[in-house]
Structure 1
C-alpha cells in the first residue's frame, strides 16, 4: 500500500501522527522523573542511586525486547503488535504509579520498557513500508517531534506535578493519551500489512541478545556508579562481550531473529555506526553541560537547566529545515556540515577564555540541536537506503538496537569519566575537568563518525535526497 492518493496520504498522515505522539509519550516517561528522583527515593525508602539504577530497568527491558519485533511484526502484523505495545506501556505506567516498593517500581519500568521496545519501532516500520522512499526523509524527520517536546517539558512537568500532587501522578499523565492512541490504532492501522510468517522463533538468538543487553547495560551503569568495586561490573561487561560474540555467530547461521546481511551494505554499516558515535557524543554532552556551566561559570541550577531548553528548540528547527538541506546538498554533505558545526560549538565552549553568557550558550545550544537533527535524520535515511519490503523490518530493528545502546552508553561514558577524574583529581575543579575531558572524547567520537561515514560513496545521499523533490 503506497500512499499516493488523497485518501492514502491522509491515512499516512494519521498513522504518522499516532506514531509521533507514541514517540513523545515514551520520551516523556523517560525524562519526567529526572527532577523528582529524591522524592521517589524518599517515598520508596531507598537511595537516589538505587532509583537511578531502577530507571535503567526501562532501558534494559527496552533493549532486550527490541529484537522481538523482527519476528512478531511479520507474524502478527503491525496493528496487533502496536496495540499490544500500547497496552503493555499502559500497564507499566499504572504499575509504577501505584508502586509502594522499589521492587514494584522496577517491575513497572521493565513492563514499560517492553511496551516501548515494540511501540515506536513497530510504528516506524509500518510508516516506511506504506510510504514511498521519497517520503522517508520527511517521515524520519517528523517522528521525534513530540519526543523533542517531551525532552523540553518532561523534567519541569514532573517537578510541577510532584509539587502539586505526588510523584505517583507523573506516570498517570500519559494514560488518557495512550487510551486515545489505542482507539485510533484500531481505526486507522491496516489490519495486516505483511504476510504471515511461518519461520520458528529463534530462542537462542533472543537469549544471547537479551543476555548481552542485560549484562552490558547493567554492568556499564554499575561501573559508572562506583569504580572502587570493579569486579562485578567488569565481569558483567565481559559476559556481555562474550554473549555478543555468541549472538553474532549464531545469527549469521540462523538468520531467523535478526538477519545480518545489512552489514554487508556500505551505506547501512557506515550510517548506523556514524550515527551511533554522534549520538553518544552529543547525548553525553547534553547530559553533562548543565553541571559544567554550574561549576565553571557559576550558573545556578535553574539557569543551567533553563538554557538547555534551546537545544531541543534547535532540534525542532532542524526538523523543518533539514529536508531542504538534504535536497540541496545531499545527505553526506549535510551530515558533514552538522558534524563540523558540532565540533566547532564544543570547541567554543571548551576553549572559552572568559565566562560564556546565557545568550551565547543559548545560541551554541541552538546550533548543536540543529546539527543533531541534520545528522540523526541524515544517518537514519541512509540506514534505510536501498532496502524494501520485509528488509525494512530487519533494518528497523537493528537501527533501534544501535540507537538504544548508544543512548545507554553515552550516559555511562560521562559518568565513568566523572568518576575516574574525581578519583584521581582531588580538587574543587574535578567536576569541570571531567566534563572537559568528555568534550575531548566527544570531539574524537564525531571525528571517527566522519571518517566512517565517508568510507562509502559520497554521491549516494545526493541522489537519494534530491529525489524527495519529485
Structure 2
C-alpha cells in the first residue's frame, strides 16, 4: 500500500506543471497588496481608491470557476490549460504596461479569467490522469506551491518595488508563464470527455450578474461621481439575478448548481458561514499593508516582510486543526473561533507606529493561525454531508463563494475606510483604519450566530 501511495516518476512532470499554475494564481492574489500605494502614486490616484485592481481580479476568478471544468471536458485538458496560462501571461504583460487605472483594472480582470482556469483545471488533470493511490501525494505536492505563493507574495512585492518598479510585480509572471506553456505542450495529456452536457449559459450569466452587481454596488457607495440611483441599480440587478437563478435552478435539470444542493442544511449553513466569516479575514491582507504604508509610512519591503508571520501562522495551523476538531466538533469550534477571529481583527486597532516589531509579528502570527483554522473548518463542514453526486457541484459552488467573499470583503472594507477617512479627515488616517478594522471584526463576531444554527451533534 505504501508503494502505491508514492508518486511515480512518470507523473512528476504533470504534478510540477500543476504546481506552476497553482503558484502563479496564488502569488498574484497576494503580491499586489504591498504595491497598491506605489501603483496609486504612479497613476496619480488615491491609494484608498484603487482596490478595484484587486477586486476585478478576484471577481473574475470567481466568475470563471463554474465554466472551467466544462471547458476542460469539452475541449481537452491540454488546450484549456495552455490557453489559461497564455491569457494569464499576456494579461500580466498588459498590467505592467498600463498607463491608467482603468487600463490596469481591465488587464487584471483578463488576468483573473486566466487564473480562474489554472487551479480547477490543474486539479482536474491530476484527478483524471494520476492513479487513485497516488492522488493524495500529488495533490499534497501541488498544495505546497499554493502555500509558497502567499508566503513570499507580500515580501516579494515589496522587494520588487525597492529594486525596480511596481510593473515588475506583474512582469515576474512572464518567464513563469512561458515555462508553464512549454511544459504544458510536453507533459499535459489532452484528455477529452466524449459525452459532455450542454453548458448552462443562462445560469452562468445570472450568477455572474449577481456577483458583479453586489460588488459594484458596494464599491460605488463612496464614489461621488455616481448617484444613489446607480448604487440601487447595481444591487437591484443582483437581487433580480439571484431570484431568477433560484427559479432557474428549480426548473432546469442541467443547472450549474441544482436547487436540491441547498436542501442540505449543513451545506447551506456552511456556505452562508463561509460568505460572511471570510469578509473580515480576507480584507486584512488588503487593509494591513495599506495601513502600514499609508498611515504609518513604513516602506513597502518592510510592510511586506511584516505580513510573513501571518502566512506562517496559517501554515502552523495545519498541524493542530485535527486534534482541535476532534475535541470540540464543528459547531462548538466554529462558534468559538468566529468570536476569536473577530476579536483579533478588532485588536489590530491597538497597532500603532511605535508598537514593537516583535509584538506585531506575534499578533500577525496569531491571526494567521485563527483565520486559517476558521477557513479549513468551514470548508470541511460545508462538504461533509454531500453525496458523491453532489460533491463536485458543491465544491465548485464553495470555491466560487470563497472568491466572491474575498472580493466583497475588500470592496466593503475599502468603502468603509473611505467613509471613515471622509469623517475623520485626511490627516487622521490611523483613526479611519482602526474604525474600519472594528467594523470588519464585528461582522466576524456576528457570524458566530450562523454557526449556532448547526445541529448540536455536528
TM range (shorter): 0.7 to 0.9
Taking the aligned partners of 1:360 and 1:300, their CA distance within structure 2 comes to 16
SS in 2 for 1:201: coil
Aligned to 2:211: 213
Asked whether 1:174 is paired with 2:144, we answer no
* Alignment map for 1:221-370 (pairs within 5 Å): 221-226=219-224, 229-260=227-258, 261-289=260-288, 300=298, 306-323=305-322, 325-326=324-325, 330-332=329-331, 334-336=333-335, 338-346=337-345, 348-350=347-349, 356-370=355-369
Aligned to 1:372: 371
Counterpart contact for 1:276–1:406, Cα < 8 Å: yes
Q: CA deviation at 1:369?
A: 0.4
- 1:144-182 superposed Cα distances (whole Å, 9 cap, x missing partner): 654454334334433443554444433232233334344
Q: CA deviation at 1:83?
A: 3.4
Aligned to 1:86: 85
After superposition, the Cα gap between the structure-2 partners of 1:123 and 1:377, relative to the gap in structure 1 and judged at 3 Å, is farther
Taking the aligned partners of 1:44 and 1:421, their CA distance within structure 2 comes to 24
Taking the aligned partners of 1:165 and 1:434, their CA distance within structure 2 comes to 31
Aligned to 1:441: 439
* Alignment map for 1:397-436 (pairs within 5 Å): 397-426=396-425, 429=428, 431-436=429-434
SS in 2 for 1:258: coil
Taking the aligned partners of 1:374 and 1:177, their CA distance within structure 2 comes to 31
Taking the aligned partners of 2:378 and 2:2, their CA distance within structure 1 comes to 24
After superposition, the Cα gap between the structure-2 partners of 1:436 and 1:37, relative to the gap in structure 1 and judged at 3 Å, is closer
After superposition, the Cα gap between the structure-2 partners of 1:304 and 1:39, relative to the gap in structure 1 and judged at 3 Å, is closer
CA RMSD of the aligned region, Å?
4.2
Taking the aligned partners of 1:45 and 1:426, their CA distance within structure 2 comes to 20
Taking the aligned partners of 2:49 and 2:415, their CA distance within structure 1 comes to 17
SS in 2 for 1:67: helix
Aligned to 2:199: 201
TM-score, structure 2 length as denominator? 0.80
Which has the higher mean CA deviation after the structures are superposed, 61-70 or 385-394?
Answer: 385-394
Q: CA deviation at 1:415?
A: 1.9
Aligned to 1:112: 111
Which has the higher mean CA deviation after the structures are superposed, 325-334 or 2-11?
Answer: 2-11
Taking the aligned partners of 1:124 and 1:384, their CA distance within structure 2 comes to 17
- 1:98-140 superposed Cα distances (whole Å, 9 cap, x missing partner): 456666544432321111111113334555777879988x998
Aligned length: 455
5+ residue gaps, structure 1: 461-470
Taking the aligned partners of 2:49 and 2:291, their CA distance within structure 1 comes to 24
Taking the aligned partners of 1:284 and 1:359, their CA distance within structure 2 comes to 23
SS in 1 for 2:318: helix
After superposition, the Cα gap between the structure-2 partners of 1:41 and 1:205, relative to the gap in structure 1 and judged at 3 Å, is same
Counterpart contact for 2:7–2:134, Cα < 8 Å: no
TM-score, structure 1 length as denominator? 0.79
After superposition, the Cα gap between the structure-2 partners of 1:134 and 1:175, relative to the gap in structure 1 and judged at 3 Å, is closer
Q: CA deviation at 1:414?
A: 1.4
Taking the aligned partners of 2:353 and 2:99, their CA distance within structure 1 comes to 49
SS in 1 for 2:60: helix
Taking the aligned partners of 1:458 and 1:16, their CA distance within structure 2 comes to 40
SS in 2 for 1:66: helix
Taking the aligned partners of 2:248 and 2:117, their CA distance within structure 1 comes to 23
Q: CA deviation at 1:407?
A: 0.5
